[in-house]
Chains A and B, each alone.
Chain A
Amino acid sequence: MEGFELIRQGAEAKLYKGLYLGKPTLAKERFRKKYRHENLDLFLTKERMKAENRAIVRCKAFGLRTPAIYLVDFNRRIIFMEYFEHNIVLKDFIEISPVEVLTRLAVNIGETLGKMHESNIIHGDLTSSNMLLVNKNDVDSFDNLDDLSLVLIDFGLAYVESSAEDKGVDLYVLERALSSTHSTADRMFPKILEGYQSYCPSEFKEVFNKYEEVRARGRKRTMVG
């Protein structure tokens, strides 16, 4: 990895930053996980690299902002993709922003997810760590929501599916991730649903019903009695 420096170790990959054909690039290396059986590790790594690429290409085709893919190297287990210089992870943004801003942003997140689901892309791991806010004017400023655009990342668990069930689960995963990380989750999530509904009112009802169904059968829910 000449010219690339390690910037972070995510859940399943090491992230390096560098230049590829003169462009700022993120290299995502799904390094060999020694804890799991070699066959399983190889299988999962390939599946996820394929899943990530397919989903990103599909997102692009439907006009959703994701990092552009530059090169996929199965042998070295690396995907080279667009690096956003001026970005903040949603998780960090939530912690520094007032609730009014967050509820406004939540509507926007809901619209984006509505669009993603309308394209039959299931993300599979929606969390506040897997969304970036990128400054449109190429400066490190994240005060004005209108200057920021939402970028979805980490499509390793993504797949194409049209069923309301999978979309419902996707939303449920997001709700769980938000509520276990952010105190503002209970203010944000209804706004996310609102944004989703406004984007695809026809599909929303079925997805929402499934979401409620999934929520009701989830094991770790609250029940009195």
Chain B
Amino acid sequence: MVVAIGFEGSANKLGIGIVKDGEILSNCRRTYITPPGEGFMPRETAQHHRQNILQLLKESLEKSGLRPEDIDVICYTKGPGMGAPLAMVAVVARTVAQLWNKPLLGVNHCIGHRFARVLKISNDPSPGYNIEQLAKKGNKYLQLPYCVKGMDVSFSGILTYMEERTNSLLKAGYTAEDLCFSLQETVFAMLVETTERALAHCNSDEVLIVGGVGCNIRLQEMMGQMCAERGAKLFATDERFCIDNGVMIAHTGAEMFKAGMKLPWIYSSITQRYRTDEVEAAWRDD
């Protein structure tokens, strides 16, 4: 039985979760919300995390009903992400690991996350969520730049295209809702198409959507249709697990811990770039 606590703060969400053998005991989160039309900057984000992390840690422990001595392993996000928030969260993880005298593990985190800035869409709760709500009301499709290169997508061009034309399009009878709708249809079609390419290339029949954008119902619906057309299975989930959270770090860390992985103190670093395929998956045997 492994009890793991996970610290996640690679972007504007700060999450601390505790898991016990796959069972979630707590999953607490604070989000740093910026003013409409602005993104989050490393320094301010780190500051937000710094101001909230101790309170959140307390909350997470209380919710789980555990005491520090019940915990077996401390897990934190090693990367990828923004340097300052990552470093800030890692410092706290290292400190509690020493205070409680527990082993420490660095975990790889993977995320993908702008148009909201042009239309000055609210960042509360998240710009993507608000685009989704607006897009539901749009129906006039505007053709936008569409660019896939092999299994990669290129969004460069879309933002410029929209930025240059937003005002004239709004005057020409397209509503902000229509633009959100067209943007979502185009970008998601690219994501679904490249996913399908990857499925065909790898002879796989399973798709898992995660990340903040993964909560988008339209993306899940499109991905689901693609999967249905080729007899594949889609795994999608809701905001508790899609959005950055501490539980995913705790759970991954617990698997690593069970597999006997150890992280020497001097290697408890962070890295802004950390590819998913650089991780040795010692906890799996397939």
The interface of chain A, by Cβ under 8 A from chain B, is 9-12, 31, 33-37, 39-40, 43-44, 91, 124-127, 129, 157, 169, 173-174, 176-177, 180-181, 220-225
Contacts and interface: CB of A to CB of B under 8 A. Distances in A.
Given A34-B225, A35-B223, A224 B151 contact: no
Main SS class of interface, A? loop
Contact of B149 (A12, A169, A223): A169
B273 A221 contact: yes
Given A10-B200, A40-B186, A35 B150 contact: no
Contact of B273 (A125, A126, A127, A222): A222
A223 B221 CA distance: 35
A36 B191 CA distance: 11
10 contacts: A9-B200, A9-B230, A11-B199, A31-B229, A39-B141, A124-B149, A127-B151, A129-B201, A157-B148, A223-B271
B273 A40 contact: no
A12 B189 CA distance: 12
A127 B222 contact: no
Contacts of B193: 11-12, 36
Contact of A39 (B143, B226, B229, B271): B143
B286 interface: no
Main SS class of interface, B? helix
A11 B143 CA distance: 23
A154 B219 CA distance: 26
B226 A33 contact: yes
Contacts of B69: none
A129 B223 CA distance: 22
A165 to B, nearest CB: 12
A125 B150 contact: yes
B277 interface: yes
Contacts of A174: 150
A157 B226 CA distance: 19
| Residues of B in contact with A, size category | 20 to 34
B150 A126 contact: yes
B120 interface: no
A181 B202 contact: yes
A44 B190 CA distance: 11
Contacts of A177: 150-151, 201
B150 A220 contact: no
Interface in B212-261: 221-226, 229-230
The winner among B192, B199, B229, B272 for most chain A CB atoms within 10 A is B229
A20 B271 CA distance: 57
Q: What 10 pairs between A and B have smallest CB-CB spacing?
A: A173-B150, A11-B200, A35-B225, A35-B222, A36-B189, A11-B197, A223-B273, A37-B185, A125-B150, A35-B226
Nearest to A91: B201
Interface string B193-206: 10011011110000
B190 to A, nearest CB: 9
Given A34-B225, A157-B150, A225-B271, 13 more contacts: A9-B230, A11-B197, A33-B226, A34-B229, A35-B225, A35-B226, A35-B229, A36-B192, A39-B143, A124-B150, A169-B149, A176-B151, A177-B150
Contacts of A44: 146
A222 B189 contact: no
A36 B230 contact: no
A222 B185 contact: no
A81 B227 CA distance: 27
Contacts of A43: 143
Nearest to B189: A36
A127 B201 contact: yes
B229 to A, nearest CB: 7
A40 B149 CA distance: 17
Contacts of A33: 225-226, 229
Interface in B269-286: 271-273, 275, 277-278
A181 B225 CA distance: 26
A12 B150 CA distance: 12
B152 interface: yes
